[in-house]
Structure 1
């Protein structure tokens, strides 16, 4: 028996060492690694038993293969965490040599890869970053979402390079987007004036009494119109507000509540659309609180050609006017006391960027001359093809010099660094040839700009292995915190070689975070870190959750964005992610949470009492909704979300042969009862002991983030939409043996380890900001980032600062 073991050990050691050039370069693997695996692991994971689809007898250590490396990394982690071998406690003097040897091997291999290739493979601008950069370069304002394909997520973020693919279809989309942006810029540069604001009084807004057509009725005695609370589809449309052209509009309106409920508020929505059954898609503009006092509200929105406004009460808690009654003569509804919103007037104005800025972005100091129809420089057809609108030409007394200067300036702004004469040559030659063939300076510039906007130097971050140069650092910093290329101050510091100075870099980080443009970082990072991009993926069942409405829906993310911004701006401890004594509410969300509204209008910071069931991002209705479907909650889904997004622990996907748990919406059994049977499978138990506890702790929150003591079940009668099902049991215990009764108990346990929450946040910030998730070689650097913020009680802003100061951020 001993001879068989030794023979097996020798073969296994040869397999581990002999076939791996990366490992050999790092030094021979200590025989203790093979000894440990043979004694403790191969019994269950050999070619015969093959438990967990793992065969250690035939496994090789080829660490230059990413999949193979990540497997060995997982072996290291599971042994270190005591998960393997299961049901057995090993002596520290047996485990420590194995972990030390494998750690050194993995770290050396990963460090070798990083030194040769960098942490981050080639990374390009995201769709949102592309849109902001192009808009800034051309001084325009236009949406790009319909022009470019959505970005894929990798490691939770669209900024991570390994999920960014460029296909022929994608490249074609970038060409089309560049053309559309240049069309808008050249058209704007030739526009002489901005349309005046148009005001619609009540007479223009009221419905035609001969054809009600879902429009609000007029009140001549008050000189306003009233939109009533009702379930009628498309009710509240305002035909008079139909826009003549697509663009960004400023919308102002004066409103007042009619017959408000006891809280004195009628929550209303503003939407746009064609607003007919043939084109039912509606686009959200915003919401407002109509009160007994007349108030003015202002919104900005991109409105599509031919779309109009819709303004109506949109609060499921209000009494609803029966649909049939809406067609009755004006004045019929009001005496019955139904709530509504009175609209005094609406004012709309199309907003354009400053024409002078657009001209400077395109033509510098050159003047524009209008052309007559008989001018031979360009025909109307040629002008149309160029997107020039009315005929005009750029006046230049030195075409060669002006072309070179303007193309050079545009390229430097686009590439976010100085451009050499050699690099500029191809773009400049393209412009020269177009000028020679057309005789048009405008056409030549447009051709060069189009080529630059589709260049890899613009689309991709230019980063070389090892330490980032000053300009690459400036670009990484600005795209991290502003989502756009560096401004003039960053570029000047980079040009002087000063940005990488630790003190300068700290001050610039603070400057960028203090600027309003950092709200882009807050929203885009929070949406991806917390999966808030899934907020529209499910619609709560109207039978089980009749109180859910659009106003509440669009408020959910506002709370979380404001909360994350507060953590960053005030450098609040990362433990606030788990629990806090404040949040951000408006009166609608406060009612949803059962929190007494302190008064005021709009979203505001609200202090939470000790008995509050809120506090911390994990109890925000936004994240509770995205971790549920429209009907039921699952401790598995929420548990995985907690582990990966908040606690920094990776959860592998379930085995392919394990079916999903189907919750019982009839209320006969609880999810706990069903999971007890599910996790009895050996292939499931190892993960369930980790993800079930935090998942069950959140079970008192339903699919829309409301508090519940019982699960909702489908009603037994047509008059009752839902009824109380079985009671909620949120108790559980962690694998460490620490038990809790409810979410407050879980918060208390997690709160004892603030460094764990801080480290998880630092991991996600690393992936988002650099374009690659932390690797094995980054682990000690990540620990250093967290340790450096202990004095600030692991402040969120401090974590951002220390990340930016670290080699993880400052190296490719």
Structure 2
């Protein structure tokens, strides 16, 4: 089998030879005496003769360097040269001068090729918004914000190319017919939901007060149990229909309010699909699924010490026989006490919630279910007693107190609705039909296209409006089609920047868009656009002040979420089928365990994000990402870590226990993401550390290589060996050793963590020499320690995770394996929305030097990136 490393190097050398042969006459002589002589002295011995290595020759036509794939191979060859991987150890090494000559020439030629490929500007001319960015843009422009009801519009758009790198790479974000169809379908639905061009629906509202309810039999309750219920007349005079309410398994408090226990207490299988048990169940008059149904729930909670805050769950529920259907709408943590009840608003956009409304239409009512979806923080065993005898429940649990619920139909309150008024406000003072439409379309286009829009640009959309009016559509109905066209326009879906033969400053509006998409994941606000159009944004002090303002704004949370999730591959934590073994610890109830696991996995994935956000907002040092004496956790994570004294679902700063002082490196979610549910995950962890923390892609393994656990099952003798011995056998194969010599020594740094991110309780100081200990603790002698020793790819050894962090955190060490530099590279690529290449090396050196001067503070790193010419120029 051809050595893939040699083959890659061979391709790179072909590219070098091609570039040498294509130089101008002015450049040919010095390169003939330098680069060509270097290739002959150090490469031709293997890549010449009758059987050249990698089947690459220098005397045959070669692929043009402008080819992106060849250029990528060339850049890999550069990396191999600077790391000392080539020439091979048994061959003469290049002198420092020769290495500098060759690598400098490679960098220069790569930069030339990149500039030529991108039209002379070295930047993306157009970059499609990711589906998350586009969905957020639509929400902003159309005002689609509904209290406590997330829309998740991105789920209705095609998925973006999957990449584990934190890069919004414009080359990868292609646009196909599927994107166009999906975006048109979505925007048509949204515009139709916002524009209220039909008559006002019949208004109605109800108030369900627990004090006025009597005892009633409730469907879904066990024999002998009785709940509360009754019929409630409408508050609106125009409607005579009464609504019904039923409440099952609830305590009646002295003041008349009701207390709901956790829903899993109502029966043996969680009861999430039953109609009335353990919940308030409302039967409201059926209306067409148009407009917004509003609820106002007056509630509080009783939380025993050591338990988590209960979660109020609101769902559409249909209980027609054989057509049971639940659709969760909202999850609201109830943190205020029952002594201080407060109102919680839930707005449900009927047009935008996917639900089989035909079920409601058949039953002539809308079913709304409100329940307590609390889950315990601590493990809970199901109480058992003598057969056939009831057992007293031994646990104190978080409960929700509900005093009243108000329901408002789509026609109640202001009309037209809020979103409609905000969308058409630009035309309010204009009586002329065409002028009104033009003003509305120009206002919407300016916000959607994120720049000033000229009158002539809107003229074609106004023509569409007039055609629809001529067809007999209403004044607002005729706006639907042109508004849809504006919102699916390339101006809305793309970041568009002018080309330039030489790097030149971006326009103010282009810079404003770059900055807001980078830090908010959406378009610029009025202040940013005003500065841009006034020509002030290129002032370095003004631009730096805007970075501070955008970072301090709550909208920067989307940047932290996206950047950190992608950098650390945290989506694996929530999406991978990882067994947390909670069923037997959750009343032996699979559904309770599933809900506990779902919330635990969510919090594990959020911890590294909230930690980074804390550093960003407080301008703390990036060094704290791999070593600090505090954590940012909530009650569920604190319990997972065995910490006391943390209350509530909000993330807050607390002192870290001794075994969790490694920043990201000791966060359970990071270890879980690296392990992917595998008990023997040393190789996976090594790949993860090499890629995510050391910034080097580990390469693609051969397709015929089986995982270690498969090899162990097929070879019993191999399976009886320690994990280190199995890996040693695996890497004895030359082609495997090329990658594993870097991967495997890193993976052992986490040897004392299990695949769920929990550290060994009997951990002692690790040894530098090997033992037979496995990552999950198997085959370990009674008094032995866990061997967490390894070495970095540059040969520096570490005894354990703490020493690993010290090595990669040593920003003065002249090594490419510095975590601070890796973070700078990832942030820069994310900000520029493209992969970095060799032409960016000078920029990275400058940013690293700036970071060192500023103590590696995260906000200052971002500010330096934004102020760099690569960001402000194109």
Q: 5+ residue gaps in structure 1?
A: 1-11, 368-394, 712-721
What is aligned with 1:387?
none
User: Does 1:777 find its partner at 2:842?
Assistant: no
How far apart, CA to CA, are the structure 1 residues paired with 2:619 and 2:387?
A: 53
State the distance in 2 between where 1:326 and 1:307 align.
38
Instruction: Provide closer, same or farther for how the CA distance between residues 575 and 357 of structure 1 changes in structure 2, counting only shifts above 3 A.
Output: same
Write the deviation string for residues 343-368 of structure 1: whole angstroms up to 9, x where unpaired.
Answer: 3227667899996752443322656x
Describe the SS at the equivalent of 1:441: coil
Q: TM-score, normalised by structure 2?
A: 0.76
1:618 Cα deviation after fit: 2.2
8 Å CA contact retained: 1:218, 1:224:
yes
Which is worse superposed, 119-128 or 355-364? 355-364
8 Å CA contact 1:321–1:338 kept in 2: the answer is no
677, 682, 687: which is aligned to 2:729? Answer: 677
* Residues in 1 aligned to 2:841 and 2:168: alpha-carbon distance in whole angstroms: 21
Structure 1 pair 634/341, CA: closer, same or farther in 2 (3 Å)?
same
1:179 is aligned to 2:179? no
Distance 1:188 1:250 in 2: 27
Q: Does the 8 Å contact 2:316/2:329 carry over to 1?
A: no
1:341 aligns with 2:350: no
Residue in 1 aligned with 2:306?
A: 264
Residue of structure 2 in register with 1:226 after alignment: 261
Query: What is residue 615 of structure 1 aligned with on the other side?
Result: 662
| Alignment check: 8 A CA contact 2:307 2:397 kept | no
* Aligned-partner Cα distance in 1 for 2:751–2:340: 42
Pairwise CA distance, 1:187: 3.5
3-state SS, counterpart of residue 262 of structure 2: strand
User: Aligned runs of 1:578-657 on 2, under 5 Å?
Assistant: 578-597=626-645, 602-609=650-657, 611-657=658-704
Question: Are 1:560 and 2:617 counterparts?
Answer: no
Change beyond 3 A, Cα 1:323–1:286:
farther
Task: Tell me: CA distance 1:347–1:615, structure 2 relative to 1, closer, same or farther (3 Å).
Answer: farther
Alignment check: 8 A CA contact 1:265 1:289 kept: no
CA RMSD in angstroms comes to 4.2
Counterpart for residue 380 of structure 1: none
Structure 2 Cα separation of the partners of residues 121 and 75 of structure 1: 28
CA distance in 1, matches of 2:368, 2:24: 67
1:508 Cα deviation after fit: 0.9
Residue 208 (1) aligns with residue 254 (2): no
Q: Would the alpha carbon gap of residues 316 and 341 (structure 1) be closer, same or farther in structure 2, given more than 3 Å must change?
A: closer
Match of 2:577 in 1: 539
**Cα separation, 2, equivalents of 1:194 and 1:730:** 67
Tell me the residue number matched to 2:162: 153
**1:493, distance to aligned residue in structure 2 (A):** 0.9
Correspondence list, 1:661-672, <5 A: 661-662=708-709, 669-672=721-724
Displacement, 1:405? Answer: 2.1
Instruction: Name the CA distance, whole Å, in 1 between partners of 2:529 and 2:60.
Output: 54
How far residue 180 of structure 1 moved from its aligned partner, in angstroms, is: 1.2
In the alignment, which residue of structure 2 is the partner of 1:240?
280
The answer to whether the 8 Å contact 1:216/1:226 transfers is no
Q: What is the CA–CA distance in structure 1 between the aligned matches of 2:226 and 2:179, rounded to whole Å?
A: 43
Counterpart CA distance in 2 for 1:542 and 1:783 is: 43
- Check conservation: 1:189, 1:358, Cα contact below 8 A: no
Map 1:386-397; keep pairs closer than 5 Å: 397=431
Is 1:136 equivalent to 2:140 in the alignment? yes
Q: How does 1:104-503 map to 2 (within 5 A)?
A: 104-114=108-118, 116-120=120-124, 122-141=126-145, 142-154=151-163, 156-157=165-166, 159-187=168-196, 208-210=221-223, 217-220=249-252, 224-227=259-262, 232-235=268-271, 238=278, 240-241=280-281, 253-257=299-303, 264-265=306-307, 268=310, 285=331, 305=355, 308-315=369-376, 317-321=378-382, 332-333=390-391, 335-345=392-402, 357-364=418-425, 366=427, 397-438=431-472, 440-466=474-500, 467-503=505-541
Q: Counterpart of 1:7? A: none
Is the Cα–Cα contact under 8 Å of residues 212 and 327 in structure 1 kept in the other structure?
no
Corresponding residue for 2:104?
100
Partner Cα distance (1:677, 1:57) in 2: 40
Preserved contact between residue 15 and residue 60 of structure 1 (Cα < 8 Å): yes
1:73 corresponds to which residue? 75
Structure-2 separation of matches of 1:37 and 1:249: 75
- Give the 3 Å change call, closer, same or farther, for CA 568–621 of structure 1 in structure 2: same
Distance change in 2, residues 1:172/1:57 (3 Å) = same
In structure 2, the CA distance between the partners of 1:774 and 1:195, relative to structure 1 (3 Å rule), is farther
Give the match for residue 376 of structure 1: none
Q: CA deviation at 1:492?
A: 0.9
Counterpart in the other structure of 2:821:
759
The 2-side partners of 1:688 and 1:208 are apart by 60
1:655-686 CA-partner distances (Å, limit 9, x unpaired): 33333332779995543232212222222222
Instruction: State how far apart, in whole Å, the 2-side matches of 1:126 and 1:326 are.
Output: 59
* Shift, 1:633, TM fit: 4.6
Could you tell me whether the CA contact under 8 Å between 1:236 and 1:311 is conserved in 2? no
8 Å CA contact 2:260–2:371 kept in 1: the answer is no
- C-alpha contact 2:19 2:65 (8 A) present in aligned 1: no
CA deviation string 1:398-422 (max 9, x = no partner) = 1122222222222222211122333
1:322 Cα deviation (Å)? 5.9
Q: CA deviation at 1:47?
A: 8.3
Per-residue deviation, 1:194:
9.7
Q: Helix, strand or coil for the counterpart of 1:174?
A: helix
The aligned residue for residue 513 of structure 1 is: 551
Match of 1:786 in 2: 848
The equivalent of 1:572 in structure 2 is: 620
Distance 1:51 1:597, change over 3 A: farther
1:191 and 1:176 mapped to 2: Cα distance? Answer: 25
The offset of 1:18, in angstroms, is 5.3
In structure 2, runs of 5+ residues without a counterpart are 1-11, 146-150, 228-246, 356-366, 586-595, 764-774, 781-785
SS in 1 for 2:756: coil
1:695 maps onto 2:697 in alignment: no
Equivalent residues of 1:254, 1:294 under 8 A apart: yes
Contact 1:22 1:63 in 2 (8 A): no
- SS at 2:196 equivalent: helix
Segment drifting more, 563-572 vs 299-308: 299-308
CA 158–304 in structure 1, closer or farther in 2 if over 3 Å, else same: farther
Distance 1:14 1:71, change over 3 A: closer
Local SS of the residue matching 1:240? strand
Q: Does the 8 Å contact 1:147/1:176 carry over to 2?
A: no
Shift of 1:297: 10
CA deviation vs aligned residue, 1:114-153 (integer Å, no higher than 9, x gap): 5625422521122222222112222223441342122223
CA–CA distance in 1 between the matches of 2:803 and 2:373? 43
Q: Is the 8 A contact 1:267 1:289 kept in 2?
A: yes
Equivalent residues, number: 755
Contact 2:300 2:337 (C-alpha < 8 Å) held by counterparts: no
Contact 1:195–1:350 at 8 Å: present in 2 too?
A: yes
How far apart, in 2, do the equivalents of 1:545 and 1:700 lie? 25
More displaced stretch, 293-302 vs 741-750: 293-302
Query: Closer, same or farther in 2 for the Cα pair 1:48/1:668, shift >3 Å?
Result: farther
Please, which of 757, 777, 782 is the counterpart of residue 705 of structure 1? 757
CA contact (8 A) 1:270 1:286 kept: yes
Deviation at 1:308, TM superposition (A): 3.8
Distance 1:460 1:709, change over 3 A: same
Equivalent residue for 2:778, pick from 725, 728, 740: 725
- Going from structure 1 to structure 2, the CA distance change for 1:158 and 1:209 (only over 3 Å counts) comes to farther
CA contact (8 A) 2:308 2:635 kept: no
8 Å CA contact retained: 1:700, 1:709? no
User: C-alpha displacement at 1:252, in angstroms?
Assistant: 5.9
Q: Secondary structure at the match of 1:86?
A: coil
Deviates more, 1:28-37 or 1:117-126: 28-37
